Amino acid sequence: MKKRLLAFLAAVLLALVVVTPHAGIADLGDFSGGSDFGGSDWGGSDWGGSDWGSSSDWGGSSYVSSRGSGSFDGGDIIFIIILIAVIVIVASIRAKNKKNTTTRAPGAIRTAASILRPISEIKSRDPNFSEEDFKEWLQNLYIKMQDCCAKRDVEPIRPYFADSIYQQFNRQMQQLKAQHRTNHVERIAVLSVTLRGCYQDKGEDVIVAEVYTRIVDYTTDDNTGEVVAGSKTDEKFMTYEYSLSRPIGMQTEKRAEGVTQRHCPNCGAPLSVNESIKCPYCDSVLTFSDHDWTVYAIKGISQRTK
């Protein structure tokens, strides 16, 4: 009888203490995941300069007891009381966690509208600036970001991001490679790009844009091809805030057939950066930090899963 009771209690405890699966690395920047977040109540954190993407799995532990058979003694009673208490505590924690899952976690805090000025101020200082061209460029950049994520190679988008963000992207790719996993972001649709406004800070013009997208996001094991995180069917509706900057006084260069013309900062050779970010003459890597708009911060505002 005692063995059966102890076995039953142990089974209940092990059933209550389960391993929670980790969502894994998601879209480039690691914003999308298993749980939706964000909403009308803004809050949370953003990234752009600090490390991110670190997380740890957790799970319960089991025990093995080889106690002799016979009648219950004082030690047995104390053991059972402690075991029941542990079961009650774990059940209470699980109930609390289940309750918390119904409350959507907050997303990042949007840039305060009070500091933003109309985008028309950029146009007044830069006659060649086109709001529509800028939004189209940002839309294409988002799609290219996710393509680079699937290929686990972010080098092609290096010129468009501040070095701190590029290094974060690169660490994400290295982590995927070390885990022998590939993140897939498919059925991408950029539903809207809104330029919320602009401001000046530390000698730079800053544009704040909100990007609203739909994606299907999942991660596969390179060896088995099995989906280890995400879903091939669930659609996620993502809202991001991008902050882009360039030095005050810089002017938008005229575009020919949608291609931005640049010159190699090392040897002066003409470059078509839509085709390559490396100078074909001297192999120097072109960056836009001193020439054009670069992304220096991205915030995950919200995620909705359909």
3-state percent helix, strand, coil for the chain, nearest multiple of 5: 30, 25, 40
**Predicted pLDDT at 11:** 52
Estimate to the nearest angstrom the gap between the alpha carbon of 81 and the chain centroid. 45
**Predicted pLDDT at 207:** 98
Over residues 199-219, mean pLDDT = 96
Structural tokens at position 70: 């016979």
Q: Taking a C-beta distance cutoff of 8 angstroms, is the pair 65, 75 a contact? A: no
**Predicted pLDDT at 274:** 44
Of these ranges, 96-100, 202-206, 250-254, the one predicted with the greatest mean pLDDT is 202-206
pLDDT band at 189 (very low <50, low <70, confident <90, very high): very high
Measure the CA–CA gap between 277 and 264, rounded to whole angstroms: 10
| pTM as predicted | 0.66
Over residues 119-128, mean pLDDT = 95
Ranking 75-79, 120-124, 250-254 by mean pLDDT, the lowest is 75-79
**Predicted pLDDT at 39:** 67
| Mean pLDDT, rounded, of the chain | 75
Ranking 71-75, 169-173, 219-223, 242-246 by mean pLDDT, the lowest is 71-75
Ranking 13-17, 150-154, 201-205, 288-292 by mean pLDDT, the lowest is 13-17
Q: Taking a C-beta distance cutoff of 8 angstroms, is the pair 193, 211 a contact? A: yes
Over residues 212-234, mean pLDDT = 95
Measure the CA–CA gap between 206 and 294, rounded to whole angstroms: 10
Ranking 11-20, 51-60, 187-196 by mean pLDDT, the lowest is 51-60
Is residue 174 packed enough to be buried (19+ CB in 10 Å), middle (13-18) or exposed (0-12)?
exposed
CA dihedral 130, 109, 47, 32 (to 10 degrees): -90
pLDDT band at 41 (very low <50, low <70, confident <90, very high): very low
